[in-house]
């Protein structure tokens, strides 16, 4: 300690105290059927009574659907509550297959009966309204120029300006020389994808139109969860059942008829009481008869994610966990091809608001599993996923950055009767975090006229050589004088930190760390003490700290203190992405 002795002699009773500081950075009840059949699925024969379904689709609506009956001249839908009398709520034409009953009370059971007019056939069932309010959003404003052309009785095809949306008009759907227009509009649906379109038809429709929407390759993995929604004049939304899903061409197709147009609803027959609480346009959406020729039919149609994993994307540290939950904006199954054995998929459903509906992990008739990439449950290399008791699953990132990153976590629901499957996927980026921190070292002695501090501050980044348990520093180390009875200064007052090493062993639990920071660096001290004289001395600052300990804070915090060679140290580091 010759340097220390020379300094003490020069400054009399002034004690030079040197320290070094370390810095380290060192659908079911929501979407329950969960099916995504191919375009080749054909119609099946279902008895009228067996083909009648009712789904409580919001806190104020029930969605009904049935299989059309040959020979029926139309359909009358009736409703009652408890032991009350049946009351007609809709009288529909022979082409109708669905009705949306609105103005209902929250969390209430209703009985429904549909009669096939002109036959002796009828069917009954019950449904309970839920707690989820109907979603209402502003109407989308025009975002570009419209295209228009007259179409007649032979039908035709019209394509949106961006080529994403096309309309197929079958022969006999329109009267001669009917104006048809497509106008791009803003997509205000929840989780909307790209612009929507406003379809306008001057006159009534004798047959449904086929609207096809294409989706980009970037969302192709979400195809099973995509839906097509129609916005009503009051801002409420109806999710439409698909008639085709073609993953090869990345297109969805839905049918549009006069009962589902976006304008104000037609008046119900005089004998049918008007709904009172649901949005007016939504409440009678399915009970509209084909509009008269003098009426312009407006269809505001958008593409959106009807169900998906939440969150869809996440960034996690090594070993960190994230809960994923599959959810939907509808209580019925949307995003499925409409076939007779999946009747829920054939019924338009209102989109619900802030309270989305989650998938459950188990449901009779369905197999529901969780995967990391193609591995059920995942593995140590890519991370693991564990189903929770009822809803969702917990993904835990691996101990090392995976070779394939981001990682794909998937929820897969399979209809055990049909074998058809829906898959929704989330993307997880796994990162080795950087560490940031400070350390302080101080040294003093009784009767000393000076004390010294050595602060270090740094960011520790993953080792550039690819060792994901090792981090190197980027920061500074400093030397400061604490004046007690003497005065003094040092030059230089700071120096660049060498890379050093922060090594974290995550194989053990809890993880252990080794911290090697700082260096010996050259400095000059100039000072004076009353009655003792003054002077300068050059010396090597012993600025290196080497310590070990346990990582705490769920693997994201390093703290400690120690006295080494009469130098009191404390350090605190935290990890962040």
Do 411 and 335 belong together in one domain?
yes
Q: What's the CATH number where 376 sits? A: 2.60.40.10
Do 422 and 544 belong together in one domain?
no
Do 338 and 473 belong together in one domain?
no
pLDDT digits (tens, 9 = 90+) for 235-258: 999 988 888 889 999 999 998 887
Instruction: Determine the 3-state secondary structure of 448 from DSSP.
Output: coil
DSSP structure string for 109-141: EEEEEEEEETSS-EEEEEEE--SPPBPB-PPPP
Range scoring the smallest mean pLDDT among 330-344, 488-502, 541-555: 330-344
**Assigned domain for 167 exists:** yes
Given 378, 413, 431, which residue is the final one in a domain?
431
Do 245 and 157 belong together in one domain?
yes
**Assigned domain for 136 exists:** no
Do 391 and 456 belong together in one domain?
no
Do 152 and 251 belong together in one domain?
yes
pLDDT of residue 272: 35
Contact between residue 54 and residue 35 where contact means Cβ atoms under 8 Å apart: no
Identify the band that residue 567 occupies on the pLDDT scale cut at 50, 70 and 90. confident
Do 78 and 14 belong together in one domain?
no
**Assigned domain for 391 exists:** yes
Total structural domains within the chain:
4
**Assigned domain for 105 exists:** yes
DSSP structure string for 464-494: TTS-TTEEEEEEEEE-EEEESSSEEEEES-E
**35 phi/psi in degrees, rounded to 5:** -125, 150
Contact between residue 61 and residue 133 where contact means Cβ atoms under 8 Å apart: no
pLDDT digits (tens, 9 = 90+) for 386-416: 999 989 999 999 988 899 999 999 999 888 8
Do 202 and 117 belong together in one domain?
no
Tokens found for residue 468: 């994901």
Output the CA angle 141-224-33, nearest 5 degrees: 115
Do 286 and 324 belong together in one domain?
no
Contact between residue 443 and residue 1 where contact means Cβ atoms under 8 Å apart: no
pLDDT above 70: percentage of residues in the chain: 83
Do 171 and 263 belong together in one domain?
yes
Given 266, 289, 306, which residue is the final one in a domain?
306
**Assigned domain for 410 exists:** yes
Do 295 and 166 belong together in one domain?
yes
Average pLDDT, stretch 537-562? 89
Structural domain for 385, as ranges: 309-431
pLDDT digits (tens, 9 = 90+) for 456-515: 999 999 887 777 789 999 999 999 999 998 999 999 999 999 999 999 998 888 899 999
């Amino acid at each position: 300690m010759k340097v220390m002795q020379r300094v003490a002699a020069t400054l009399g009773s002034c004690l030079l105290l040197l320290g070094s500081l370390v810095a380290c950075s060192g659908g079911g009840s929501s979407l329950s059927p969960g099916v995504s059949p191919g375009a080749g699925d054909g119609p099946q024969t279902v008895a009228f009574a067996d083909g009648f379904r009712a789904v409580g689709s919001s806190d104020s609506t029930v969605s009904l659907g049935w299989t059309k009956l040959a020979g029926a001249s139309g359909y009358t839908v009736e409703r009652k509550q408890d032991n009350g009398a049946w009351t007609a709520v809709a009288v529909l034409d022979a082409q109708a297959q669905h009705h949306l009953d609105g103005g209902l009370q929250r969390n209430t059971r209703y009985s429904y009966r549909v009669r096939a007019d002109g036959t002796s056939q009828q069917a009954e069932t019950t449904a309970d309204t839920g707690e989820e309010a109907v979603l209402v959003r502003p109407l989308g404003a025009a975002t570009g120029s419209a295209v228009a052309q007259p179409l007649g009785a032979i039908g035709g095809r019209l394509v949106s300006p961006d080529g994403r949306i096309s309309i197929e008009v079958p022969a006999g759907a329109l009267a001669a020389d009917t104006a048809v227009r497509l106008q791009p509009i803003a997509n205000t649906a929840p989780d909307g994808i790209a612009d929507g379109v406003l379809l306008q038809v001057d006159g009534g429709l004798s047959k449904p139109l086929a609207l096809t929407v294409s989706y980009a390759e970037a969302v192709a993995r979400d195809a099973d969860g995509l839906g097509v929604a129609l916005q009503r004049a009051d801002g409420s939304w109806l999710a439409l059942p698909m008639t085709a899903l073609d993953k090869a061409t990345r297109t969805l197709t839905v049918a549009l008829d006069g009962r589902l147009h976006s304008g104000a609803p037609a008046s119900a027959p005089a004998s049918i009481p008007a709904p009172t609480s649901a949005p007016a346009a939504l409440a009678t959406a399915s009970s509209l008869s084909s509009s008269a020729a003098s009426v312009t039919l407006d269809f505001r149609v958008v593409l959106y994610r009807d169900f998906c994993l939440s969150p869809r994307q996440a960034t996690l540290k090594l070993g960190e966990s994230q809960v994923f939950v599959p959810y939907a904006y509808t209580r019925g199954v949307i995003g499925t091809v409409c076939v007779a054995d999946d009747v829920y998929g054939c019924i338009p459903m209102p989109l619900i608001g802030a309270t989305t509906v989650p998938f459950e992990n188990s449901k009779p008739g369905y197999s529901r599993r969780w995967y990391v990439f193609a591995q059920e449950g995942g593995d140590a290399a890519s991370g693991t996923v564990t189903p929770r008791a009822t809803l969702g699953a917990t993904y835990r990132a691996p101990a090392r950055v995976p070779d394939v990153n981001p990682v794909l976590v998937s929820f897969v629901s399979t209809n055990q009767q049909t074998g058809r499957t829906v898959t929704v996927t989330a993307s997880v980026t796994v990162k080795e975090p950087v560490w940031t921190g400070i350390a302080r070292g101080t040294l003093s002695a009784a009767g000393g006229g000076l004390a010294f501090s050595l602060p270090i501050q740094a960011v520790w980044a993953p080792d550039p050589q690819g060792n994901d348990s090792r981090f190197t520093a980027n920061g500074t180390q400093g030397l400061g004088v604490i004046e007690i009875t003497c005065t003094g200064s040092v030059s230089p007052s700071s120096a660049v930190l060498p890379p050093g090493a922060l090594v974290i062993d995550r194989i053990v639990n809890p993880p252990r760390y080794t911290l090697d920071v700082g260096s010996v660096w050259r400095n000059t001290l100039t000072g004076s003490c009353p009655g003792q004289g003054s002077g300068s001395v050059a010396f090597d600052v012993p600025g290196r700290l080497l310590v070990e300990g346990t990582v705490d804070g769920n693997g994201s915090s390093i703290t400690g203190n120690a006295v080494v060679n009469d130098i009191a140290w404390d350090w605190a580091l935290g990890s962040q992405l």
